[in-house]
Chain A
Amino acid sequence: MRKSKNRISFLIFLAPSFAGVIVFVLTPFADVLKRSFETAVTGRFTGAANYRTIFQNQAFLLAVKNTFRFTFICIPLLVVVGFVIAWPLSKLKNAGTIKAIYLFPLAMPTATIVLVWKMVFYKQGFLNIFLTGLGQWTGTWGQVQTDYLETEAAFWVLVCSYIWKNTGYTVVLWLAGIAGIPAELLDAAKVDGAGSFQRIWYIVLPNLKGSLYTIVILSFLNSFKIYREAYLVAGAYPHKSIYLLQHIFNNWFVNLELDKMAAAAVCTGGFLFIVILLLQKMWDRDGTS
């Protein structure tokens, strides 16, 4: 009795959302899957031809490589930077203001900040002014004239703006995790003579695995949003070190190369699906142990 009533309530409450998900996400994605095996214009079945095309496409391979590089550099960096900030912060009594400062970049619309980024990283911009000043002050180097946006350095500009934007929520998540560690555990270790590094390594970090998975998943999700900065700073065809998957999807879309887009969407979606499932598995296993 109670059970069937539960099921009816569940369905009623979920219905609007689930209908929308079916109409706007699941059905069209099935369509994309179908299209990935067809030619773009005539809709003739071509087997895996689209998949072969994209994996022979230099631009696509470059984009995949850059996206991987970006993710593998940014996420560990963000995790470490977040922890280095969160740990001393967790010992402060009034950390509210500091947290707010760290979180603020999250609230700044990308478009408003791009002007400033351009001024900072411009060939004759603030960063070079600072570096030149530093060079003259220490007497080690002269004028610095690097153009950060049209060289390899563009990649690091993106890394910096990603860290700038996302440190705040990483710190908040680490702090929430640290707050969940029983204080007795740390006190006991202290009494037993563990140094602060030992305490961090043997007690704090193992207790924070759950937070780590969360941070990794969310950082991963947000790493795709770096496209905004990349696009605004360098346009649709940036320096090749920051040509990301997001660029190629957008350019294919503009040129209506829907067959390639379908194949790439299926590959990227499938890959993410597997990664997310694996992370969830690790997370679940960790939670039960």
Chain B
Amino acid sequence: MKKKIYEAAKSLQRAFTIFLLLLPGFFVFFPIIILITGSVMDQYEIKEYLNPIFTEAFDFITWKIMPDYPSFANYGKLLFMTPQFFVLFWNSIRMTACILAGQLFVGVPAAWAFAVYRVRGSRMLFALYVILMLLPFQVTMLSSYLVLNRLSLLNTQQAIIMPAVFSTFPIFLTYGGFRGIPSQLFEAARVDGASERTIFLKIGIPLGKSGLLSAMVLGFLEYWNMMEQPMAFLDDKALWPLSLYLPEINWAQAGFAFCASVITLIPAVFVFTFGQDYLEQGIIYSGLKE
């Protein structure tokens, strides 16, 4: 009897686990499937399905997982007849790349300073950095605006890049990676006569690269999705990143919007797939107690 209950509980548990696997799978893949099918639909077909949105009619919208008239016309239009799209795509790439490169040069040495050299005041400074990292954009929006205005950087991509380069979030993540290196290694290198710079470049970077890479992966996903900053500081639409352009496409061009969304999604999926371990590591580092 007891064994039976035990077995029933076991199978119930297994069913729950499977359910747990399927449910988020559905919620995650559903939007992607809609995006992909929408992007390969013929424009008349998509208009027919979404008709209630235009006519305010009383029917429901409809959808098909397999389009009746699959067509790559939207991709063709987007990739070969919309030079504007490339400008924006390139904007996104350039801003993200500049930010990440800047963070690498500025943030990684700073993280190293906090992780390796325990001097008076460093703990307090670190606490300040943590608080700055947690302040939302809205709180710092006005101060960023004032300084960008003074440096006449408004309405240039520098206005997005510069404040992000000095963000303290990547420092926190990279710090997590550096803290994991046993300090005896540095002592041994010092005894052998290595300079602090050599220790940083030859021991710190190679051994602490997991923290550094997780900062890059999390940073990429964050800045690829950036909206608040360009919305506030870039008036000229030619400077916008893709993430800000997509919502501008209206329902009448739904197929086009689906296409642009899929293409915007591709780099993020790429980074996610190859950087998943670092992403996870980064999340754990962001939770590390000092």
Contacts and interface: CB of A to CB of B under 8 A. Distances in A.
Given A110-B225, A112-B246, A215-B287, A124 B132 contact: no
Interface residues of B, number: 97
A103 B135 contact: no
Contact of B286 (A24, A100, A111, A214): A214
A230 to B, nearest CB: 11
Interface stretch (A52-60, A84-92, A151-159): A84-92
Interface centre among A31, A124, A220, A268 (most CB of B within 10 A): A124
Nearest to B271: A107
B243 A111 contact: yes
A14 B113 contact: yes
B205 interface: no
Contacts of B287: 173, 176, 211, 214-215, 218
A35 B147 CA distance: 13
Contact of A221 (B125, B134, B138): B134
Contact of B28 (A105, A124, A214, A283): A105
B276 interface: yes
Interface string A1-31: 0010011011111101110110111011101
Contacts of B144: 24, 28
B17 A224 contact: no
B116 to A, nearest CB: 8
Interface centre among A23, A101, A114 (most CB of B within 10 A): A101
Nearest to A98: B21
Interface of A is mostly: helix
B117 A9 contact: yes
Given A111-B242, A253-B232, A272-B134, A172 B284 contact: yes
A172 B140 contact: no
Interface string B70-100: 0000000000000000000000000000000
A31 B258 CA distance: 44
A141 interface: no
A22 to B, nearest CB: 9
A99 interface: yes
Nearest to B166: A20
A227 to B, nearest CB: 7
B168 to A, nearest CB: 7
A24 B61 contact: no
A201 interface: no
Interface string B170-184: 010000000000000
Nearest to A129: B60
Contact of A112 (B196, B265, B272): B265
Contacts of B141: 249, 253, 261, 265
Interface in B182-237: 196, 200, 221, 224-225, 227-228, 231-232
Interface string A77-119: 0000000010011001000001111111111111111111001
A101 B286 CA distance: 20
A273 interface: yes
Contact of A111 (B25, B147, B261, B284): B261
A124 to B, nearest CB: 4
Nearest to A170: B283
Contacts of A238: none
Nearest to B26: A101
Given A85-B20, A89-B20, A109-B265, A31 B165 contact: no
Interface string B262-277: 1011001101100010
Contacts of B129: 21
A28 B289 contact: no
B40 interface: no
Given A101-B28, A111-B243, A9 B127 contact: no
A115 to B, nearest CB: 6
A98 B20 contact: yes
A14 B114 contact: yes
B269 A276 contact: no
B280 interface: yes
Contacts of A249: 138, 141
Contacts of A88: 13, 16-17, 20
B35 A112 contact: yes
Contact of B168 (A21, A28, A35, A283): A21
A253 B20 CA distance: 43
Interface string B250-264: 000010011001101
A171 B124 CA distance: 31
Contacts of A43: none
15 contacts: A14-B109, A27-B147, A103-B272, A108-B31, A108-B268, A115-B254, A116-B31, A116-B34, A116-B35, A167-B24, A224-B138, A250-B138, A261-B142, A268-B138, A283-B289
Given A10-B119, A88-B13, A104-B272, 19 more contacts: A6-B119, A13-B113, A14-B125, A20-B162, A21-B132, A24-B147, A25-B166, A28-B144, A35-B142, A98-B24, A109-B264, A112-B35, A116-B31, A122-B53, A125-B60, A253-B145, A253-B232, A265-B141, A269-B135
